[in-house]
Amino acid sequence: MASAVAISILLLSSSALAAVSAVPYLNVLTLSRQSGAVPGRSDEEVRILYLEWRAKHRHSQKSLDLDEYRFEVFKENLRFVDEHNTAANRGEHTFRLGMNQFADLTNEEYRARFLRDFSRIRRSTPQNISSRYRLREGDDLPDSIDWRQKGAVAVVKNQGNCGMLIMPLMVSIGSCWAFSAIAAVEGINQIVTGNLISLSEEELVDCTIDNHGCSGGWMNVAFQFIINNGGINSEENYPYTGQNGICNTTKENAHVVSIDSYQNVPSNDEKSLQKTVANQPVSVTVDAVGRDFQLYDSGIFTGSCNISSNHAMTIVGYGTENGKDYWIVKNSWGVTWGESGYIRMERNIANSTGKCGIARFASYPVKIGASLHNNPAAVPLLPLPLRLPSSSLLPLAITTAPAPAAPHAAASTSRTIAASFGSSVRSRVPPAATTTSAAVPKTTHKNSPLRVKALTHCCHSQLGFNWLRWSQ
């Protein structure tokens, strides 16, 4: 005979309720489930599946009463997964679901534990909307790119239960913003330097005072912290603890990677977002409240969602499969979720905000020195102003002129770039290139801290000189 299973959580304080604003009605949650057989599976099979799942995902759980409740939730999620995957086998879906680490959570519990309404998080930094990667006529973007294959993506990490834990619901909200920002910084640093260094999310959680630690935050605020701090430490030196901690100023002042600025991708513009991802990994927010997102396993996600921003991830590539475009998105829920920690999300949909609002609030760090060795599209525009004391600068005009044609030579776009300090280099530049300007030190005396090294790797499909290289 079917029996009802119910559970309630204790009333939360008003401050705790504010922290769990993703689901404000959770002060009293009553769940009722009618237990029963899972279609197509015997009771013994379901029990064995649950015990195997529990041994893998909940090995520290000891409460028998809670276990019975969790078993009922597990069974209900198993029904949902089986129904979805049966439809996927008929070609009705492009993605499959699985019994991942969230399989014993109701959707309400999952939302309370891992999601945060970004509209409730104050942003104290300027928006810095940039046209740097806005798609322009004549742009030729690669059909696909995967920064994992280019060595610019660190291993998938797990944000865990960052924040307060209220049993049995285990509300925590999370630090996804820190993982999203760090993945983007790790990516651009590898693209520029060739070194992939796993960086410290814990430093952002502990030390970024304009964000809210385990209670949420914005990635561009994290970028601004790294800029103001002069850099960020490695994960090895400042490891993740999964809780709000006191900022370790000694570790905070140890910098292994720095960035120079950050920019926001133009909102609701998937083409500009694609161009940005063709150059580097990008931090994004999405709506992740759906049950099919919670239990996502593989394939191109086309499930139900809206455009609310309640979870942060990092786009690390894009591609096309069977005629359907997708984003490759790195999550911070460990390798047991999705495609070894990643999700492929539908791309180029009719809604300008992108799937689940992925194109609404995209941002990326900027690091001077991006070169062509990874991606021909990765040459950024000349950064102005450069970080030099104004007393040591003078204007520099850079002009281009057609290079003399060699007898019987094939047509070429090679031009001579003449600089006012008396040197010139020959480089490939577009025929339409004209004039730009920058600044150089007034002296290259041996005691001067900076000197001009070279103009290198110029240019790409638009007029976009690579950085003037400064060195000791």
Residues classed as catalytic: 176, 311, 331
C-beta separation of 257 from 229 below 8 A: no
217: tokens are 């935050």
| C-alpha–C-alpha distance, residues 106 and 308, integer Å | 20
C-alpha distances in Å from residue 344, one per residue of 136, 314, 386: 26, 12, 38
The answer to whether the beta carbons of residues 207 and 201 sit under 8 Å apart is no
Can you tell me the distance from the alpha carbon of 153 to that of 340, in angstroms, rounded to the nearest whole number? 13
Nearest to 363 by CA among 315, 299, 429, 309: 315
Cα separation, 181 vs 210, whole angstroms: 14
Residues across the chain: 472
Pairing of strands 424-428, 296-301: unpaired
Determine the Cα–Cα distance for residues 155 and 161; give it in Å rounded to an integer: 19
* DSSP codes joined into one string, 59-120: TT---HHHHHHHHHHHHHHHHHHHHHHHHHHTTS-SEEE---TTTTS-HHHHHHHH---GGG
* Rounded-to-integer distance, Cα 93 and Cα 90, Å: 8
Helices then strands, each counted (H, E), the chain:
10, 17
Rounded-to-integer distance, Cα 194 and Cα 189, Å: 7
